[in-house]
Structure 1
Amino acid sequence: MAHAAPIPQMKTLNACLDKMVEQGYVENFRAAEGGLQSFDSDKIYGAKDINIVNFYRFEGISNPDDNSVLYVIETSDGKKGTLIDAYGAYADPEVAKLIVEVEEIQKQKDFSPGGRPK
């Protein structure tokens, strides 16, 4: 699977999101009961069907309430898109739960029981 290229010095969420769209990450996702839902098709992806290829955090210049994170996601059926959430006190608990599940699955795929990469 191709990975999102690093984006040096992306200072705003909108600039980073525009760059991701240019790279083909056009699907819009949201956390839903049971996983990650595509706004475009309403399909729900379970944690095992999601790969977080990158993420970017942004801090509000004058207001901590503006803190956000952009997740760059690829699905098992080839969809590429993004998920935006607040972070800190205003983070969506459903997004946090999903991200933890995806990270745990990715850790299990990346390492053997002895702790060595497969």
Structure 2
Amino acid sequence: MHVYDTISGALTDLDSRGYNLDFNLTPDGLECKSIDLFLMPEEFEIEEVYRFEGMTDPADSSVVYAISSNVGNLKGVLVDGYGMYAENVSPELLNKLKIHHE
């Protein structure tokens, strides 16, 4: 596992290691708009997780997920606010994210 001081440092290094797609969280899975792709929870793996605490407010914390998928042999990242997804995603997706969050 790598150690990063900033989110931008993590994203730059992950990009250099092939995690070059940007994923967005949807209620049922992950979406990559640049290549018009949607992945269900069973179609991707979370390879690495990095947490970043807000300087003055813990509510400003973020998480960077390094994600891979056998669907198209893809790698990318998901940046999410810590705990922000809880009410907005399916139970299957929530469980997958939480396993790597704790």
Give TM-score, length-normalised by structure 2: 0.81
User: Which structure has the bigger radius of gyration?
Assistant: 1
What number of residue pairs does the alignment pair up? 96
* Counterpart mapping for 1:9-20 below 5 A: 10-20=4-14
| Among 10, 14, 21, the residue aligned to 1:27 | 21
**TM-aligned CA distance change 1:36 to 1:79, over 3 Å:** same
Q: How far apart, in 1, do the equivalents of 2:29 and 2:89 lie?
A: 9
Query: Which deviations, in whole Å up to 9, do the C-alpha atoms of 1:78-118 show, x marking residues without a partner?
Result: 11000011114xx12336842414678xxxxxxxxxxxxxx
Query: In structure 2, what residue type is equivalent to 1:86?
Result: G
* Match in the other structure for 1:86: 81
Gaps of 5+ in 1: 1-5, 105-118
| 2:43 is the counterpart of 1:37 | no
Distance 1:63 1:17 in 2: 22
- Residues 52-94 of structure 1 show CA distances to partners (whole Å, capped at 9, x for unaligned) of 0010000011232320000100012211000011114xx1233
Q: Is 2:76 aligned against 1:73?
A: no
Between the aligned residues of both structures, percent identity stands at 29
State how far apart, in whole Å, the 2-side matches of 1:84 and 1:96 are. Answer: 18
Runs of 4+ in 1 over 6 A off after TM superposition: none
Measured at CA, do residues 99 and 26 of structure 1 come closer, stay the same or move farther in structure 2, by a change above 3 Å?
Answer: farther
